[in-house]
Chains A and B, each alone.
Chain A
Amino acid sequence: MNDPSRRRFLGVAGASAAVAGASAVIPSAAFAGETHRSAGSSTESVVAYVSDTASNELTLLVGEREVVVHDRDLVNRILNAAGK
């Protein structure tokens, strides 16, 4: 996953947490760094799924699509945000 698309995802992931009414509010510091949404960013809610925390694989479910990305940094940041 290149850097612009990672930033795009981070923006979407933040939106997903808000839409889902998550029980834990993720501090913005968890996703450090300024992000910008690109023109092609999703306007639908997104579910991000890390099925195997030992892998670098992240599954994004959006609309009727499934997008699988392999990005160690991105998965690490999500797991860090989801941890204690």
Chain B
Amino acid sequence: MSSHREAPETSKDPVADNTDVYAFVSPDRPDHVTLIANFIPFQKPDGGPNFYEFGEDVLYEIHVSNRGKAESDVTYEFRFDTHVRNDKTFLYNTGPINSIHDQTWNRPQRYSVTRVSHGHKAHLGDFLCPPCNIGPRSTPNFRKLSEEATHTAHGRRFYAGQRAEGFHVDLGSVFDLGTLRPFQSLHLIPSADALGVDGTKTYNVHTIAIQVPISELTRHRTRPTNPMHEDAVIGVWASASRRKSRMLDPHTGRRIGHGPWQQVSRLANPLFNEVLVPMAEKDEWNMRAPRHDSKFAKYVNHPELGRLLPVLYPGVFPHLARYAKPRADLNAILLTGIPAGVVPGFQNFTGPVEADMIRLNVAIPPSHKPNELGLVAGDPAGFPNGRRVFDDTTTVELRAIAGLTIPLVDPSYKPDAAAGGITDGTKNANPPYLDRFPYLGYANGGYQTKPGTSAVSGGLKSV
């Protein structure tokens, strides 16, 4: 999925597994940009007694490039510290948690935020996380706890803690040889068409979100108003790093880190490492900086999934099957940004350096009528101009890989009819998105959330 368990190493290290990144001009505060990085995928809400938390031994970062070199010109660093109030109990909470300051929360976590720009460090504050959403006896008013943990300092907003998963995708089908339930009668191994199933329903993630003035992120520290000006575009990605060496301390049972921080996970565009980069290179990709992504450009220019679609859906993508040119459309969308002249009145080009970044044109205001399909549906405030929490990036990227965006750069190409219609058929089935910071829904509760359908096997119903 977006980037959950997308590489062999990160799949074994969920605390450092960056699952989704969002960057958008804040609809309720349009002179500010919201940057969100999610970690710790597939959180089953009742997963106690050691509920989910950020890693004290992980350096979390959100990076912004504003000089067209795909380098980190502004970095926000997040470091977490966990405190055990009562070390004589196994309980996460020793009574109801009515406030994030309550002594009944036995394992509070707090974090510090540092802004780094060209060697200059500024400490932005120390803040408390909320607890996980345990249930009505432990966290009786979880919304209140979440609001308490939404901090404002010097005009910036901060949140770090559990939220409902905002990304939706039919995991069970897409990983079953690329099936899309609404169209599976056309699959190489067919079965009756069906409704999509949101594989992330009931799950939570851990979110790091900040909201900062646009002028804090741009090259000349201004708020650009001309979307066609190069200064209006920023590149965004997030990362998680661990110390280069970790020794097991038998006296405490914990790991001791030595040496400098080594990046172990990074993310910008959803599905980049997951779907485009071959399995054998995914771990290396995670450790590299985006400015070195030219090595992986061949996987964007000739995506494996683009070759698989005509095979998995025989006769459905004949035009795509015959298209042998490098995918300049995907290269622009994912690696350089879309230059001026491709989409009237729009660009998010960051220069020739090929790098996986979410590119956000901050001069484009939030949409009054947002479309979850973003730019391809005529909404320039949405993906791939940044990424909002509700953007249906799975559908957008599926259709792009299926050839829908080729005519942007190759007008002679006529997309297959199916390219404009394919989807996994899912919608967000988790608590609804919010219209205010941090925009992702409140976390699912452990007591309140019921396990879903279970099945070991079952035959395919014939078409």
Binding site for B on A (CB under 8 A): 20-21, 45-47, 49, 61-66
Contacts and interface: CB of A to CB of B under 8 A. Distances in A.
Contacts of A66: 244, 259-260
Majority secondary structure, A binding face:
strand
- 6 pairs of A and B residues whose beta carbons are closest in the complex: A61-B259, A61-B258, A47-B258, A47-B245, A61-B245, A66-B259
B260 A65 contact: yes
Interface of B: 243-245, 247, 249-251, 256, 258-261
B247 A47 contact: yes
A62 B247 CA distance: 12
A46 B251 contact: no
A40 B258 CA distance: 18
9 contacts: A21-B249, A21-B250, A45-B247, A61-B245, A62-B258, A64-B260, A65-B259, A66-B244, A66-B259
A8 B273 CA distance: 44
Nearest to A46: B258
B251 A45 contact: no
Contact of A64 (B250, B251, B256, B261): B261
A49 to B, nearest CB: 7
A65 to B, nearest CB: 6
A45 B250 contact: no
A49 B245 contact: yes
Given A45-B247, A47-B245, A61-B260, 4 more contacts: A21-B250, A21-B251, A61-B244, A66-B259
A24 B256 CA distance: 19
Contacts of B249: 21
Contacts of A63: 258-259
B158 to A, nearest CB: 24
Contacts of B259: 47, 61-66
B393 to A, nearest CB: 35
Contacts of B244: 61, 66
A47 to B, nearest CB: 4
A46 B249 CA distance: 13
A20 B247 contact: yes
A20 B249 CA distance: 7
Nearest to A49: B245
A45 B247 CA distance: 10
Nearest to B261: A64
Nearest to B249: A21
B56 to A, nearest CB: 15
A79 B271 CA distance: 44
Given A21-B250, A21-B251, A64-B261, A45 B256 contact: yes
A37 B16 CA distance: 38
Contacts of B251: 21
A65 B259 CA distance: 5
Nearest to B256: A45
A20 B245 CA distance: 12
Contact of B243 (A20, A45, A46, A64): A64
A64 B250 CA distance: 22
B207 to A, nearest CB: 26
Nearest to B59: A64
A10 to B, nearest CB: 18
A24 to B, nearest CB: 14
A63 B260 CA distance: 7
Nearest to B259: A61
Contacts of B250: 21
A45 B255 CA distance: 13
A49 B245 CA distance: 10
A75 to B, nearest CB: 18
A64 to B, nearest CB: 5
B61 to A, nearest CB: 14
A65 B261 CA distance: 9
A47 B248 CA distance: 12
A79 to B, nearest CB: 18
